[in-house]
A and B are shown apart, each in its own frame.
Chain A
Amino acid sequence: KAGVTQTPRYLIKTRGQQVTLSCSPISGHRSVSWYQQTPGQGLQFLFEYFSETQRNKGNFPGRFSGRQFSNSRSEMNVSTLELGDSALYLCASSQDGNYGYTFGSGTRLTIV
């Protein structure tokens, strides 16, 4: 059974640009969560989507947004990129958002 797929694997952007990252969950999983991982802050929760609705949100500025489609695939968008947004962005899928979270390999975003 296919795992969680994140695209692209690597991305380089310049300050002020925006970026969209994609996550395809495990088949049958309806919950997708996003995390940011940096050496300074570790793994931090961004938001969670279930059935196209955001149910939970972490403490990130409004420049970070997301959405989920009817097939459960999810995208996250970061606008007006800052150097501090350089990180590994991970998504995790779960059947219901309560248990059994499986992570993808992440998108390494570098801001120059």
Chain B
Amino acid sequence: GESVGLHLPTLSVQEGDNSIINCAYSNSASDYFIWYKQESGKGPQFIIDIRSNMDKRQGQRVTVLLNKTVKHLSLQIAATQPGDSAVYFCAENAGGTSYGKLTFGQGTILTVHP
């Protein structure tokens, strides 16, 4: 049958703005979450991770927020730059025997205009 491509959400911002990318996850047992950035023709690049015993974690220009009550994850990028333009994926791991298994969101396309 005909395959239907994923329709990725898009976010368009101006250089210097702050960006917020959201992700809803479905598995309440997930205990580890990662944000990845993927540029065209490349593999996913690690941005930041967070474990379920935390609700916020900060890195360089990035912050991840985790709300386990509503199963929601967000990535905040401060002072967004054109080099931040890419597809951003959230990923979750359920722990236990889910070795090596990440479940990915559909991705969000971030476009930063100079």
- Provide the bound-state CA to CA distance between A101 and B36, in Å: 10
B interface residues, tally (CB under 8 Å): 27
CB-based contact B101/A39 at 8 Å: no
Which secondary structure dominates chain A's binding surface?
Answer: strand
A98-B93, A100-B49, A102-B46 are known contacts. Are A40 and B6 too (CB-CB below 8 A)? yes
**Proximity bits, B61-78, A CB within 8 Å = 1, else 0:** 000000000000000000
* Residues of B close to A94: CB separation below 8 A: 100
A2 → chain B closest CB, angstroms: 14
- Provide the bound-state CA to CA distance between A47 and B100, in Å: 8
Interface bin, chain A = 20 to 34
* Residues of A close to B99: CB separation below 8 A: 31, 48, 50, 55-56, 97-98
B13-21, B22-30, B103-111 - the one binding chain A: B103-111
The residue in chain A whose Cβ has the minimal distance to the Cβ of B5 is A39
CB-based contact A43/B104 at 8 Å: yes
* Residues of A close to B3: CB separation below 8 A: 40-41, 84
A85 → chain B closest CB, angstroms: 13
* Residues of A close to B102: CB separation below 8 A: 33, 35, 43, 45, 92, 101
CB-based contact B100/A56 at 8 Å: yes
The residue in chain A whose Cβ has the minimal distance to the Cβ of B3 is A40
